[in-house]
Structure 1
Amino acid sequence: MDGPTSYDEDMTDCLFCRIVEGEIPATVVADTDDVLAFRDITPKAPTHVLVIPKAHYANAAELAAADPALAGRLIDVAGTIATSEGVAEDGYRLMFNTGRHGGQEVFHVHLHLLGGTPLGPMLAI
């Protein structure tokens, strides 16, 4: 993994870095050179997939500033998954939570892909 804060001693406690390294199992739905997507273990919708860069970035703003092309690839992979999961036609939500007040619980940037049910204007988590 490459990136300004790629997996090293500081990232040993990062859940998502450990998933990328294969230390923790996940139900993977997409895997590219720089992006990994897997099912959320506590889904908030019938389709709930987390799309992450393999390199560690703390949040969406950090990723976008450091590597805007990689940020775009997360969205591209999410769109491909939405199609393969059968939720693209009816619609789906892409969501980044950034910071504690934004609802971020794992401080490795991740894009939520949610679909398979009407989500309404707000998603209750």
Structure 2
Amino acid sequence: MKNYIIFKKIINKTIPADIVYQDKIVTAFKDINPQAPIHILIIPNIFIISINEINENNSYIIEHMFRISLKIAKKENISQDGYRIVINCNKNGGQEINYLHMHLLGGKKLGKIC
């Protein structure tokens, strides 16, 4: 897995990124290698390796990530046509950066994955 430091630098704004939303809990920014016309990553501002690390003390973060994804989908005008939310977990699940992140994809008809 690639190093998670890049996400910390985006959160702290020490490297350029197209940030579309930021609050005290999450940061959302456009993916530099988009897989759809709209491809936004939503990450917690505190380091969590993967979805496996969610527990009763930090589960509010996942709820907030989903709420913000809906807010962004509405802002990007994809909430009515449809969009996909993906959270990959660990190597076999496709997680390339060992930092919990949610992909918000939309802006075109997406193929079935299941």
* Contact kept in structure 2, 1:92 and 1:113, CA below 8 Å: yes
Normalising by the residue count of structure 2, what TM-score does the alignment of the two structures yield? 0.91
1:36 matched to 2:23? The reply is no
Normalising by the residue count of structure 1, what TM-score does the alignment of the two structures yield? 0.84
Q: Which structure 1 residue ranges, 4+ long, deviate > 3 Å from structure 2?
A: none
The 5 Å alignment of 1:82-121 reads: 82-121=73-112
Distance 2:96 2:14 in 1: 20
| Relative contact order, higher structure (CA 8 A, sep 6+) | 2
Q: Deviations over 1:15-71 (max 9, x none)?
A: 101111222111010011111000000000000000000001001221x22411111
Q: From 24, 49, 60, give the equivalent of 1:69.
A: 60
Corresponding residue of 1:9: none
Describe the SS at the equivalent of 1:114: strand
* Contact kept in structure 1, 2:4 and 2:98, CA below 8 Å: no
Unpaired runs of 5+ in structure 2? none
Distance 2:24 2:66 in 1: 15
Letter in 2 for 1:122: I
Distance 1:13 1:111 in 2: 14
Distance 1:75 1:61 in 2: 17
